Structure 1
Amino acid sequence: MNLQIRTYEAFKLFLDSQKVDKIYFFNGRFSLYRPLLRAAQFKKIDFFTHERGSTNNKYHLSHNTYPHDLPYRKAEIQELWRTATPEQKDAAGKWFDFVRGGKALSWYSFVGHQQNSTADIQFYPNKINVGIFISSEDEMICISGWENNLFKYQSEILEWLAQEFDSSDEVHFIVRVHPNLAGLKNTQTNFLKNSKTRTSLLSLGNL
């Protein structure tokens, strides 16, 4: 935290000493770059955050915000789809099918190592099988707009569901773990490994 504060203050001093009218930097979510974003906002200087695009030859720019800004992103997607030609919509559909199928087009595939077989998943035809798709807490915990109004952490939701339906023989939960959690050791992965309340865990990588 001290490093981020010092970065923020140093960047404000830099902006005071230079005639900067536009700034470009990466992502805006990571702790290394968030101070730059906040300093630019404080100084009311125009900025863009850049991210990977749909392929290795393309990039994406977010104006005066970061790519994870939900209202901004939703408006952008809706406007692009509204003004897209039939050919562009067809290309977008093909891109989605490629990525969903595990093909790495811009970085690496998040589902390339996904278990395509359901042999290891407990599925009960005579029960209500509920799939729960969790995200990685470390990515979204510092971003406004992604908060859950009922539970602070996703692990709390899983614990609550397990307790609420502990005596029920009608409902079975299957948890799909986000591939970004593969190989990480933090409170969320420790919970997923050690929790005695979950019934089935669909893992897309080694936790």
Structure 2
Amino acid sequence: MTTETMSRPAPAALTEWAIRGELILNCNCTVFCPCVVSLGNHPPTEGYCQAWAGVRIDSGHYGDEDLSGLNVGLLLEIPGLMARGGWKAAAYIDERASDAAYDGLVAIFSGAAKGTTGLFSVLVAEFLGAERAPVVFETEGKARRLMVGKKIQGEVVPVQGKEPDSEIVVTNTEYWMGPDITVATATKGRVRAFGRVWDFDGRSAEICQIDWKGPGR
């Protein structure tokens, strides 16, 4: 795959957009990532954050362009406190996306489209790029899997609580992704992309139902 966007997209006229679906994330923190409750005011457990994430879009649009059924993979690197910025980020856009959907998703996930993900435009110091790729998001039982070729191969599962049929959920948070975060761990978390070689098997993971929109909130 060739890199199609190597710098942050230039600001454009703001377009109304919305995404509903599910997000999974696996980082290098030990279980459980402190950023969810501290909102980035507590450092990651290792002092810095490296993460991959996957988004399954069940329904959504960017202007008149339908985004339903598409998937997105993300790579995130944060040097210290999440709230202090200095992030590096990259996006893998579902190869099935039309040109208009691709451009819309790059705008959304770079923060240029404002709204829920607009904080990226403030916190991300370097947008490494966006690429079209075969982005597969699968659910089997309680397991969620993200596969972006050989670049990201991940699987996360909820951490089992006292009641095995009920997930451990941190509710009513002000976390940017959504208010209710399922505590999870990675059974596989491997990244081979943009010069990064990460293995986060057994590390912290999150599952979140998302309802994002823009440009306003």
Q: TM-score range by the shorter chain?
A: under 0.3
Q: Structure with the greater relative contact order (CA < 8 A, sep ≥ 6): 1 or 2?
A: 2
Structure having the higher strand fraction is 2
Higher helix proportion? 1
Taking structure 1 as the reference length, what is the TM-score of the superposition? 0.23
- The structure with the larger Rg is 1
